[in-house]
Structure 1
Amino acid sequence: MIKQYLNRTQRLFVFFLSAAVLVAACSKNNDGPSDPPEEEEEEEVVDGISGDLTEVSFQAGESYDVVGDIFVPEGASVTIPAGVTLEFQEGPNGEAWFLEVFGSLYILGEENDRVVLTPSEELLASSKNQGIGQLWGGIIGTNTAGDLVIQYADILHAGGTVREENAMAQAATGGGGELSAGDASYALYYVREDGQRQDGIFVLTHSHIAFTPDDAIRINGGTILFTYNRFEVTGGTGGDAVNIKAGSSGDFAYNFFYNLATNGLKSADTGPGVSGALETNFYNNTIINSGYRRAEPGRGAGLNYESDAYGKVYNNLLVNNRFGLRFVSGEDEPRVEEIGYGYNWYYGAVQSILDEVYPTDATASVGLIGNDPRAPIPTTDIVGGPGENDPEFVNFDPSTFVFSGNGSIATDPLRSNIEPIPDGADFHLSAGSPALTGGFTDFGPVHENYVSLDGQLTFTPPAPSEFFGAFGTN
């Protein structure tokens, strides 16, 4: 049950009103006449929270209706403790409310006591819910933001429509605004624009991001650590789960991705961040049934490096994706010589998938791997024929994957499927899985530690594992 809360002014009003009633009751015992009590002017009590979050005393385990845009002021710090639910209501004119971060925000759920950010039950049951979010705004880290730390949180059905007054349409998010009024937003956004502050960390761990209309997360610079997260049904006819831009550096490991419109992880040295330093490690991630809702031909790899990006990409498990690891060719190519890659496991239910593990001239998505002498096909990758190299999940059969239409990636890339993870699916590897061994572990992280500005939180990136993908055995 969602509880309703009063702000400080409203609580004081209720206190003084109660005191007045008590005094009036006591006066009835006096013998002399008394003047009639003056009528108190009633103050409207507004249910829910909006505005400055430093004025909200979040209590662990409580639920709060969000009835307007909420924000963390510049220079301030707000912590949302374990068990809190923020339920975003629809605005009186259909507005989607945003959480805008101008200071530091710490969402600190716990393993068995998660923080939940979700739309109202009314919105979920409405015709607005088409399975790809847009039911509330998102969490928007601006140029003045410090840390953005999120752990054990569920961020669901975000990506609502941007309004003129939102930070996403203002210079606060980079340049003239990352988006314009009327655009669908991202579930999470973080920016470190060139010429602005560069300190602080963006950490997302043990969290669930699901149902978004475009990129689930857009990162324009910063020190980034993403580990042990679950991404599900992100993007309508486009959008990456995690779109990493110029000025970013960090580690992305043990994340699980299911049914994405385009890429799971993409690095491109473009955007308002500081250019020339986009180093991102992608290791031990699992990406399944993804890349088919991207409308443009030739787009939609599981993992993607382009536009001067570089890093290490090992031990990933890619199952039935539209394309495999892609190094973009041409003017937008990455720093090929500075990318360490190989030891990635590929499974395809049909030959059309396997033909594009390394994108060829069969589609518009020709990549560098296998097509450029600087990027040979790794002998350490695991690739077989249709239905071979089954990673043997505990409870998920990848051989049941089917296309719409004629089943050809080259001529029928767009799938309308926005189905979530099947009930009961378990993507851990079975005890006898061939994917439990063979991974590469002789490399280190981009950053040894990720430390919050106040020094109170330290996150250490996990070491790579010999198994492929995000999960070993149970």
Structure 2
Amino acid sequence: MKTLKSLLLLAMLAMALFACKEDEEINPIDENPDEILDGISGDMTEIDFERGETYKVVGDLVVPQNASVTIPAGVTLEFQEGPNGEAWFIDVFGSLYIKGEEGARVTLTASQELIEGPKNNGIGQLWGGVIGTNVAGDLVILYTDILYAGGAAREENAMAQPATGGGGELNAGDASYALYYIRQAQMRQDGIFVLNNSKIAFCPDDAIRINGGKTLMTYNTFEVTGGTGGDAVNIKAATSGDFAFNLFYNLATNGLKSADTGPGERGRCHTNFYNNTILNSGYRRAEPGRGAGLNYESDSYGDVHNNLLVNNRFGLRLVSGESQPRVESINYGYNWNYGAVQTITDEFYPTSATSSVGLIGNDPRTPIPSTDVAGAPQENDPMFENYDPSTFTFGGNSSVSTDPLSRNISPIPAGADFHLKADSPALTGGITDFDPVHTAYTTLDGSMTFTPPAPRAFFGAFGTRN
């Protein structure tokens, strides 16, 4: 009896296998496992992100409150255009960790159709951005390229809701930021915001706006950010942290700006800017008095040293008037300035010749430091490995003071190398005996700790290639 049952069972299994085989022939297994996966949207905790895969984003993505999501190395998210022209966002109410690696970067970008289409005007707006809300935990982004972001916010997005402060950081229809993070007054103040070894390029306004939080940004590239306004990194109240060894190229306004304003807690806007390279920036800002390479205002303060400022509309600006920074707590000097033409060298320290009057050299509390490098046009060439700053023009205007607006949105030239040559005079002369704002940046779960890099005696972000 057992033998008969066994034979019947084997027969049934054989029939089932034969049926499966026929189904396979009708619906064969995907022979291209590396092709782009089906569209994703919604709750990111329900998406199993796999290393090296590409995903089409067909709706807003959300990290729920108190949840944690990790995007592994090599992942690409391609944001598609919505059926009614929507730009899709990543709204972060929990913690988001984007863990690209040096040889396997993560990419957040628009679809190829959008990049090649008529909506691409050179300054992004093709998808939304990554938005850390006032209940978010950590936002950690490593070895990631964030391209063509800054699309219009919608009423249902966090950017237009109280989750980003007040009634919303933006109104529906406003161009957004590539990255946003907030620590609103009288709400949670823990968690960290870290951006390391990443690139942000092509966005219409601020690339990053930070309304509070413990922040570390190092070894990043910012390229063509802002249309007729917008800073690469716009830092607001209660933000404290270290910003170092970053490259900024062709920005609308400032590379780094600190101001103790916005929805964060007052009195704690302490930011160090050191060993950054900022080139060809400030000329797309519509207002004639704005566009410094580095900017402190409205009771912000920190150490600002060893920066390489090349052909910018203005140099380091400590804002005068009612919006002054905390002058007694700012340590500046040991910065290198280069200008290809007289109208640039005239404004290494914004003067009374423009509406951008700064404190340096114009107030007895803030003299021009003898430790800075600043000279006549084309003096003090930092000697880049492969880039000639003497050829720079800012759009054919006669004066950066009277007619600064430029429509130039050219990216970094192919082959450009902003390391310093072995015989560069900018390899020495910096200062190294100042402390970071924070000695460590540790995630909420304690699994990752980031240490700010020590300052280097060379000027700028790179030193020599070898």
TM-score, with structure 2 as normaliser: 0.92
Provide the residue aligned with 1:3 in structure 2.
none
Displacement after TM superposition at 1:25 (Å): 3.9
Instruction: Report the RMSD for the aligned CA atoms in angstroms.
Output: 1.4
Deviation at 1:455, TM superposition (A): 0.3
Deviation at 1:253, TM superposition (A): 0.3
Distance across 1 between alignment mates of 2:429 and 2:57 = 48
Q: Aligned-pair distance for 1:22?
A: 5.3
Aligned to 1:273: 264
- State how far apart, in whole Å, the 2-side matches of 1:22 and 1:57 are: 31
2:302 pairs with 1:332: no
Q: Match of 2:296, as an amino acid?
A: Y
Aligned equivalents of 1:402 and 1:453: distance in 2?
47
Following superposition, the deviation at residue 407 of structure 1 comes to 2.6
C-alpha separation in 2, matches of 1:174 and 1:241: 21
Alignment of 1:129-208 (within 5 A): 129-208=120-199
Show CA shifts across 1:162-209 (max 9, x none): 000000000000111000000000000000000110000000000000
2:31 maps to none
Consecutive unaligned residues in structure 2, runs of 5 or more: 1-12, 23-36
Task: Quote the offset at 1:24 in angstroms.
Answer: 10
In 1, Cα distance between the equivalents of 2:463 and 2:316? Answer: 22
Tell me what 1:97 maps to: 88
1:228-247 deviation digits (Å, cap 9, x = unpaired): 00000000000000000001
SS of 1:302's partner is strand
Once residues 45 and 139 of structure 2 are traced to their aligned partners in structure 1, the CA distance between those partners, rounded to angstroms, is 16
Within a 5 Å distance, the mapping from 1:3-82 to structure 2 comes to 25=19, 47-82=38-73
* Alpha-carbon distance, 1:404 to partner: 2.4
Q: Which amino acid aligns with 1:255?
A: N
| Map 1:223-372 → 2, pairs under 5 A | 223-372=214-363
Q: What amino acid maps onto 2:164 in structure 1?
A: T
Distance 2:448 2:421 in 1: 35
How far the C-alpha of 1:23 sits from its partner, in A, is 8.8
* Correspondence 1:215 to 2:195: no
Q: Distance in 2 between matches of 1:149 and 1:261?
A: 26
Question: Which residue pairs with 2:370 in the alignment?
Answer: 379
**Alignment: residue pair count:** 437
Amino acid aligned to 2:247: F
Aligned to 1:403: 394
Cα distance between partner residues in 2 of 1:423 and 1:240? 24
Runs of 4+ in structure 1 over 3 Å off: 21-26
Q: C-alpha distance in 1, partners of 2:418/2:17?
A: 66
2:448 alignment counterpart: 457
Residue 437 of structure 2 is aligned with which of 446, 449, 463? Answer: 446
Q: What is the alpha-carbon distance in structure 2 between the residues aligned to residue 339 and residue 22 of structure 1?
A: 77
* 1:406-421 mapped onto 2 (5 Å cutoff): 406-421=397-412
SS of residue in 2 equivalent to 1:54: helix
What's the TM-score, normalizing by structure 1?
Answer: 0.91
- Between the aligned partners of 2:165 and 2:394, the Cα distance in structure 1 is 39
Does structure 1 residue 128 correspond to structure 2 residue 119? Answer: yes
**CA distance in structure 1 between the aligned counterparts of 2:332 and 2:399, rounded to whole angstroms:** 28
The one-letter code of the counterpart of 1:161 is A
3-state DSSP of counterpart to 1:352: helix
Do the aligned partners of 1:302 and 1:325 also contact (CA within 8 Å) in 2? Answer: yes
**Partner amino acid, structure 2, of 1:316:** N
Matched, 1:113 2:104: yes
Contact 1:53 1:78 in 2 (8 A): yes
What is the CA–CA distance in structure 1 between the aligned matches of 2:16 and 2:226, rounded to whole Å? 58
Amino acid of the structure 2 residue aligned with 1:349: A
Identical pairs, percent: 75
For the structure 1 residues 22 and 131, does the alpha-carbon distance in structure 2 shift closer, same or farther, using more than 3 Å as the test?
farther
Residue deviations 1:432-459 (CA, integer Å, cap 9, x gap): 1000000000101000000000000000
Contact 2:439/2:452 (8 A) holds in 1 = yes
1:405–1:412 CA contact under 8 A, matched in 2 = no
Letter in 2 for 1:168: M
| Unaligned runs of at least 5 residues, structure 1 | 1-18, 29-45
